[in-house]
Amino acid sequence: MALPGRAKLTHHLRLARRFLRHNQRFLCDGVSSENKESPGQARVFSGIQPTGVPHLGNYLGALENWVSLQDQYPSVLYSIVDLHSITQPQDPERLRTNIMDMVASLLACGIDPEKAILFQQSQVPEHAELAWILGCLTSMPRLRHLPQWKMKSRQKNEGSVGLYTYPVLQAADILLYRSTHVPVGEDQTQHLELAQDLARIFNNRYGKLFPEPCALLSATQKVKSLRDPSAKMSKSDPQALATIAITDSPDDIALKIRRAVTDFTSEVTYDPKARPGVSNLVTIHAAAAGIGVEEAVARARGSDTRAYKATVSEAVIWRLAPIREEVLRLRAERPHLEAVLAAGRRRARQLAAPTLQEIRRRLGFS
């Protein structure tokens, strides 16, 4: 029996939470036992850049986790980090649209502004002030060793000061709310280590204020590009068929998966090193259907990769259909989206302002 839009979305969210509980483990690394907070004191912080509508990899790799975490922790903040976005040139009108699209997408994916504080980073000025303070505690060699600076500055031949120092702003984002847990991918752990280091430096110099935040590492496999399974799925990929947006139509999804790179072996197996393309499809199928990789392979037994692509398409279309419907609905309700951000800004500042006031006092500013 077909479910109506909101009921369908609720059903999908329940399935996603069940899948995450059974197929993921979160690891808390890099924090000594005396710095770990009790469950009642735990606070989660994470941010996402306003690059418009998320893609399938964003949803399966991060946003499903976000939805799960808002039910597991007593205090959760999710920020649309528009200050970070301007490390690359932005068209102002496009940026405004992207911010609203991201708000609509997060709500459609299941972020509940009653459970989590959803806000726009630039609307909370304490982020920028704390970034300056922490920048004065950070050495240039420490920043030069971070991998993103090496990679992005090499791509651009030269990088801006903002690109160089944005890991300090990331640390400020986390520490401003005295966050204890940060969901990150493995490629972001060095940036979280900078936040941990800065928490220790500040605490040693000015007295204990910040907990050292620990990483929540998801066990979910990353979704790869459909055209180049050696790379992550990315909105910046020049190949239009490489990336599935959560608002793609069923026809677009089916076309992209049908054109996905596989290999010359027809059997469906899971071997990311030897068969990255087919394994990527298995990862997508398992996550979209809410099953394990082993079960996905078992269900494909007797099918060749061509038939299996149809199975994967069906699972992805089924999973994304209610989200797409909700994004399109919310896009038409801009006053509601602005109200969500305004409420989030007020709640975020209620937490941020006292922390920064105490920091100013300890530094001797007041």
Catalytic residue among 8, 36, 152, 222: 152
- In three-state secondary structure terms, 267 is strand
* Letter string b/e over residues 62-71, b meaning 16 or more CB atoms within 10 A of that residue's CB: bbbbbbbbbe
Residue whose tokens read 């979704």 = 223
Tokens at 273, concatenated: 């090193």
Query: Where do runs of H (alpha helix) occur along the chain?
Result: 5-23, 56-58, 64-72, 82-85, 92-109, 126-135, 140-144, 147-156, 161-175, 189-206, 250-258, 276-289, 293-299, 305-331, 334-363
Indicate the burial class of 209 (C-beta count within 10 angstroms; 0-12, 13-18, 19 or more): middle
68 and 59 Cβ atoms separated by less than 8 Å: no
235 is catalytic: yes
Q: Are 61 and 109 in contact (CB under 8 A)?
A: no
Reduced 3-state DSSP string for 7-47: HHHHHHHHHHHHHHHHHCCCECCCCCHHHCCCHHHCCEEEE
Q: What are phi and psi of 211, to 5 degrees?
A: -70, 155
Residue 121: half-sphere exposure toward Cβ, Cα within 13 Å:
28
Q: Which residues contact 3 (CB under 8 A, 6 or more apart)?
A: 11
Q: At what angle do helices 161-175 and 189-206 cross, to 10 degrees?
A: 70
36 is catalytic: no
User: Which among 298, 310, 185 has a CA at the least distance from the CA of 257?
Assistant: 310
The CA distance from 264 to 94, in Å, is 42
Catalytic residue among 8, 36, 222, 235: 235
Q: Catalytic: 232?
A: yes
Among the options 8, 36, 222, 232, which is catalytic?
A: 232
Tokens 């979910």 belong to 220
**Distances from the Cα of 2 to the Cαs of 6, 311, 320, 364, in angstroms?**
12, 19, 15, 63
| Active site members | 152, 232, 235
